[in-house]
Chain A
Amino acid sequence: MAEEAHGADEGGLVFHPMDQFIIKPLFGDGPVGMFTITNATLWMALAVVCVIALLVLGTRKRAIIPSRTQSVAELAYGFIYKMVEDVAGKDGVKYFPYIMTLFIFIVFSNFLGLIPGSFTTTSHIAVTAVMAMGVFLFVTILGFVKHGAGFLSLFWISSAPLALRPILALIEIISYFVRPVSHSIRLAGNMMAGHAVIKVFAAFAPLVLISSGIGLLVTPLSIIAITAIYALEVLVSFIQAYVFTILTCVYLKDALHPHH
C-alpha cells in the first residue's frame, strides 16, 4: 500500500501497518506546516479531480439518453437526493448540495484510498472529525434558528412517562453530544482498520522468501486474505460513505423536525 519508508529490515519481515497513514510533505523533506503540500493534499486534490471528471465532464453533453459516465453521475445524484428527501423530508432538500458534497468527497476518498500505494485521507480522524463537527454545528445552529428554544424538545420525550423524562433527557443530551465523535470515528476507524489489516497480511506475504518451509503455507494464505479483505474494503468504502451521509440526513431531520 504505502511507500516503505523504512526499507527492508535486517532480513526479517517488515511490520509497519500504520506507516501508510503518515502525513509527509510531497516536495522536500521539511516539517508539515499548515500550508505544506502533503500527500493528504495530493489525494484530496485527486478526489476533486475525480468529482469534476464524473459530475461535470461526465454530464457535459446533457444527453437525454445518457452515456455511461452520465448514468453514474445521475445515479449518484438520484441516490443522495432521494436519501435526503426520504430521511430529512421535503424541506431538507434545500441542504442537498451540502450533503452531496460530503458524500461525493468521502466516497471518492475511500475508493482512491483503495488504489495500492495511495493515501486514504478519510482514514484520518482530523479529516472526519472536521466533517462531523461541521455537520454537528450546522444542524445544532439550524435547529435553534428554526425552532428557537423549541429545539430543546428534541431532548424532552413527551411520549415517555413524566417521571422518566428527566432521565431520558439526560441520556438524549449525552447521546446528542456523542454524535460527532461516533460519526467521525466510525468512518476513520473503518478505513484505518481495513487498510492496516491489509498491510499486516501484506507483510506476511513475502515469508516464503525467508523460510520456504512455513512460507509455502503462509504466503498463499496471506495473498488470499489480502484479496478477500480488499473485496470487503470495497464494500466498506461505499457503506461507510453511505452511513456517514445517511446519519447526516438523520441529524438534519432532527434539526428540522425536533418534535418526535
Chain B
Amino acid sequence: MATDEILEGEGLPHSAAEAPGMPQLDFSSFPNQIFWLVITLIVIYFVLSRIALPRIGSVLAERSGTITNDIAAAEDYKQKAVEAEEAYNKALADARAEAGQIVANTKADIQKDLDKAIAQADAEIAARAAEGEKAIAAIRESAKDSAATVAKDIAKDIVAAVAPGKIDAKSVTAAVTAKMKG
C-alpha cells in the first residue's frame, strides 16, 4: 500500500504537469538572472577593490611591519643585555684585578717597612755592639794601663826593697814596659 503511494507521488506525468523539468533550463528566466548577477558582481567588485581589499592589505602589511619592528627591538634589547652582562663581567674582573693589585702593593709596602725596620734594628744592634766593643776595648785598655802602672809601682817597690838606690825608677819602668810588650 505504501509502495503504491510512493509510486503515485513519484508519478512522472503528475509532477511533470506542474514543474517544467529543470528550472535551470527555463530560458525565460536567464535575462533576469544574468542582469542581477552582473549587478551583484559589479557591486562586490567595487566594494572589494575600493574598500575591503586595500584595507585588509594595509592591516596585514601594518601587522607584519609591527612584528618585524618588535622582533628587531627584541633583538636590540637582547644585544643590550649581552653587552650589559659583558660590562658587568668586565667590571667584576677589573675589580678583582685591582683588588689583587692593592693586595700586592700593600704586601710590598709592608715588606718594605718590615725590611726597613729590620735594617734599622740591625744597624742599631750593630751600633750598640760596636759601642759595647769600644767600651770593652776601653776597659781593656784601662785595665792594661792599670796593670802596667801597678806592675811598675810594684817593680819599683820591689827594686827599692831589694836594692835601694841602685836602680832608678826610669829604667825600671822601661824594663817593665818592655817586658809587658813581649
Contacts and interface: CB of A to CB of B under 8 A. Distances in A.
User: Are A and B associated in one complex?
Assistant: yes
Interface of A: 5-6, 9, 11-16, 18-19, 21-23, 31-36, 38, 40-41, 44-45, 47-48, 51-52, 55-56, 59, 62-64, 66, 70, 73-74, 77-78, 96-98, 100-102, 104-105, 121, 123-127, 130-131, 188, 192, 203, 207, 210-211, 213-215
A12 B26 contact: no
Interface of B: 1-2, 5-6, 8-10, 14-15, 18-19, 21-26, 28-41, 43-45, 47-49, 51-53, 55-60, 62-63, 66
Contact of B53 (A13, A33, A100): A100
Contacts of A21: 22-24
A47 B47 CA distance: 13
- Where chain A touches its partner, the secondary structure class is helix
B29 A32 contact: yes
A18 B34 contact: no
Contacts of A127: 33-34, 37
A69 to B, nearest CB: 12
Contact of A59 (B32, B33, B59): B59
Give 10 closest A-B pairs by Cβ, nearest first.
Answer: A55-B52, A211-B2, A13-B9, A12-B9, A23-B29, A21-B23, A34-B31, A44-B40, A97-B49, A126-B33
Contacts of B22: 18, 21, 192
A14 B15 CA distance: 9
B29 to A, nearest CB: 4
A56 B36 contact: no
Contacts of A34: 31-32, 35
Contacts of A215: 2
Contact of A33 (B32, B39, B44): B32
A22 B23 contact: yes
